Amino acid sequence: MSEHHITPLRTYLIIAASLLFLSGVTVWVSYVDLGPLNIVVAMLVATVKASLVAFFFMHLLWDDKKNLTMFLMSLMFFGIFVTITLLDTEFRGDLDLNPEVKDPINKRAAFYDTLPLTDSHGHPVDEHSDDHHEDKDHH
């Protein structure tokens, strides 16, 4: 690291232009519904932008390779975390006979909203008030 890398202005300008372009892509893609890929594309664009900043503006590309290793390791651990967590959330309830439970979490949240409230023993409870409860008992 004794020699200091001097980046030509041209490179900085190209990277700045790419970042602006990618910001445009982020805005544009938010109007396109890609279904479950929405988040993937948004994260991908953001990762590319962050990497450009780290590599060129923060000189990671010309720096000690150990620093680059650290950077790549952090990406790797992030990948491990997301991938293995998805092994849970994408396959949850896979042994359950109720097909609704197989859906991903955000759909299931809506599904749970349609269900009547129950207490911890599975008995239905009324969320509004006690007198409602009494009415039910009369019926």
Question: What is the distance of C-alpha 26 from the center of its chain?
Answer: 15
45, 22 in Cβ contact below 8 A? yes
| Structure tokens, 49 | 């932008």
Q: What SS3 state is found at 81? A: helix
Number of residues that bind another protein (CB under 8 A): 25
Question: Minimal CA–CA distance to 133: which of 122, 114, 120, 117?
Answer: 117
Among residues 95, 120, 127, 137, the one that binds another protein under rule CB under 8 A: 95
Of the residues 94, 127, 130, 137, which one makes contact with another protein according to CB under 8 A: 94
Q: Considering only residues 22-81, where is the footprint of another protein by CB under 8 A?
A: 66, 70, 73-74, 77, 80-81
Binding site for another protein (CB under 8 A): 66, 70, 73-74, 77, 80-81, 84-85, 87-95, 105-106, 108-110, 112-113
